[in-house]
Structures are given as structure tokens and as C-alpha cells.
Amino acid sequence: MRGRPCWFALFLAVIVPVSLLCTGNAVSATGKEKDSMGTCIKEVRITRGRNPFREWDASPAGSKQAGAPVRAAALAGDDFDTPPGLSRCTFEGGRLMGIEKKTREPVVSPRCFSPLTRVDATRIETGQRKEIGKLRCVPGNDISYRDIVLFLLESQVITTYWHIESVICLVSEDDSQDTYRASFRGTHMYFTNARNEDKLDFSIIIEKETGAISLVGGF
């Protein structure tokens, strides 16, 4: 490590994978982060080390399909690996996401999702809306709307950082007859010549009649 700036050591420390939220256990933010976020119903740290798309995005096939929706494909059998930390994200015993063993392409379950567009919460203006796809399963005892939203974040279908990680809090929920809306606030960390932090403020909305899922900037 001699000769390398101190931020390099910090970079190595923060990309170590941590637990995901579909287990029902939130990852605690620091006291300073909590104070900046205000009320926090659920906290989560999302890292580059747990990104299911890392191998696929770096592959020639993935590079050619950059910007294409995440495919919905049947996940039965042994053709798919479960992304680290997402093994408990299930609906009626079936996985919500799998990584194809041969190609390393992440796909989502057609039982719960249409093909999904990957969207970026770090580059969205207040009031701007980005369509993600449609929810096909009906949340109930097995899975909740909150579980679905957290899965979209943890699977990184919704991007919440540039280089390293984000720490975000679910700060409010509105579960009406017609829509479910979850609002988040937090920060994402990245490096230029030094460590930087930018704020995150966004909402995820699910229209219950149509299943339409969208990301909206701000609350």
C-alpha cells in the first residue's frame, strides 16, 4: 500500500459485500448518516460487490445489449444461479431473479415481472418519471409491495450509486387502494481525486390495477 493515497484503502474497505434486505434484516447506517436522512423506516447499503450485473455488463454479450431491458425468463431447473443475498427474495417458492450459468446474464421471473428497464436514481430530476416495467404477481401473505420495491433496489435494477455504494433509507410509504408509493432518501459515494458523496431523493410507484412500476425523482 506504500505510495498509494489513503482513499485507496478506503475504496477497498467499502466494496466488501454486505447483507441484503430480502432476509428481513436492514443494514444499519452510521449515526451521522441517520441524522442526515431523518425518519428511517428501513435502511439499506447497496454495494458494487453485490451487483448481479457486474459480470454480464463486463462481458462482450452484455456490452452489445447495453440499455436493453432485463429479460423475464423461467427460472426452473439448474440453469441459473441465485444472486448473492437474494436467495430469500421469492414468490410462492420461486426466485425473483437468477443469473444464467453459461452467459452470466441476470433475468427476472416472469411470474412476477415483465421485462424490466434498468433505471438510474442518481440521474433523475425532481418530478421526472422513468418507467421500469410491470408487476405481474399480486402481493399478499407471501410477498409485500415493500418487498418488491426493496428487491428492485437490492437487485440493482434501480441503480443508486456510480462507483462504489449507496446508503439509503425508506422514509415514507403510501399504500392506497390504487397505488403503492415508497419514498427514499440517502447518499451515494464515489471517488474522483477524493471521496465524494451526493444526495439521493426518489420514489418508487406501483400502480395496482396495471402493475406499472416507475421511478420518480423527489417525493
Convert the pLDDT of each residue in 96-148 to its tens digit.
999 999 999 999 999 999 999 999 999 999 999 999 999 999 998 889 999 99
* pLDDT tens, residue by residue, 7-36: 444 444 443 333 334 544 333 333 444 444
pLDDT, the chain, mean: 84
Among 164, 142, 13, smallest CA distance to 89 is for 142
Please report, for the chain, the start and end positions of each structural domain, with discontinuous segments joined by +: 6-51+112-217
pTM of the model: 0.81
**The pLDDT of residue 86 is above 80:** yes
| Cβ atoms within 10 Å of 135's Cβ, excluding its own | 22
d(CA 158, CA 120): 6
Percent of the chain with pLDDT over 90: 64
Provide the pLDDT for residue 84. 85
H or E stretch including 58? Answer: helix 54-58
Q: 49-87 b/e with 16+ CB inside 10 Å = b? A: ebbbbeebeeeeebeeeeeeebebbebeeeebebbebbe
**Residue 183: all three cell numbers together:** 419514498
